């Protein structure tokens, strides 16, 4: 797993955005807005499956370490600055982050969504790293089947090979027999 460390020019932060350094405790109140990176691995209940699955969670959950005491929680505004190609969309509604995964090529990869967090005169940035679940870890498929990475279900390997071949050729041929 290669997660790039990121620090932003926030004089209040003191490096808390580096995922190897813990955020300050909430009891350490001051005039700063601090929000640590979020890392969700594939074994987490919040981790989404690939192939267009919608994932979502509340960024103000006690589960995520932050220090927002520079302002009231009601005044905190989140916005999505960008997201990588492991997602087809990412958006914020209040403090709820919603995202939709890309195709089967994203299985086991970490996707990144970059957020801006504002409150009054304070602004900080953070990354949310989300690993896409592998639904085919222990498939119970027979010798003539393969696991579909989008559903986790066993499908006939001949059907999958035939579809892959047709997709590669760019043509779809329907046989009426």
Q: Is pLDDT at 7 greater than 60 in this prediction?
A: no
Question: What pLDDT, on the 0 to 100 scale, is given for residue 110?
Answer: 95
- High-pLDDT (> 70) share of the chain, %: 69
Average pLDDT, the chain: 76
User: What span, in angstroms and rounded, lies between the C-alpha atoms of 3 and 13?
Assistant: 20
Q: What are 81's two structure tokens?
A: 């600055």
The three-state secondary structure class of 162 is helix
Nearest Cα neighbor of 64 from 23, 111, 28, 8 is 23
CATH topology of domain 34-131: Immunoglobulin-like (2.60.40)
Q: What are 3's two structure tokens?
A: 């997660």
Residues in the chain, how many?
177
Do residues 160 and 34 lie in contact, with contact meaning Cβ atoms separated by under 8 Å?
no
User: Could you tell me the residue ranges of all domains in the chain?
Assistant: 34-131, 136-177
Nearest Cα neighbor of 112 from 22, 15, 40, 16 is 40
Q: What is the pTM of this model?
A: 0.73
Q: What is the pLDDT of residues 50-88, one digit of tens each?
A: 999 999 999 988 887 677 766 777 888 999 999 999 999
80: β partners: 115
Q: What is the pLDDT of residues 143-161, one digit of tens each?
A: 889 999 999 999 988 755 4
User: What span, in angstroms and rounded, lies between the C-alpha atoms of 109 and 50?
Assistant: 10
């Amino acid at each position: 797993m290669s997660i790039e460390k990121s620090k932003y020019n926030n004089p209040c932060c003191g490096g808390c955005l580096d995922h190897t350094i813990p955020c300050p405790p909430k009891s350490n109140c001051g005039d700063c807005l601090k929000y640590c990176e979020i890392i969700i691995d594939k074994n987490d209940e919040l981790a989404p499956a690939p192939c267009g699955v919608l994932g979502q969670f509340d960024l103000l959950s006690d589960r995520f370490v932050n220090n927002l005491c520079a302002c009231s929680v009601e005044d905190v505004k989140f916005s999505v600055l960008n997201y990588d190609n492991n997602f087809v969309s990412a958006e914020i509604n209040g403090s709820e982050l919603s995202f939709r995964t890309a195709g089967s090529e994203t299985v086991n990869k970490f996707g990144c969504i970059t957020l801006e967090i504002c409150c009054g005169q304070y602004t900080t940035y953070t990354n949310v790293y989300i690993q896409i679940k592998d639904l085919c870890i222990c498939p119970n498929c027979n010798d003539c089947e393969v696991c579909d990475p989008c559903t986790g279900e066993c499908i006939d390997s001949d059907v999958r090979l035939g579809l892959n071949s047709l997709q590669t050729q760019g043509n779809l041929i329907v046989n009426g027999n």
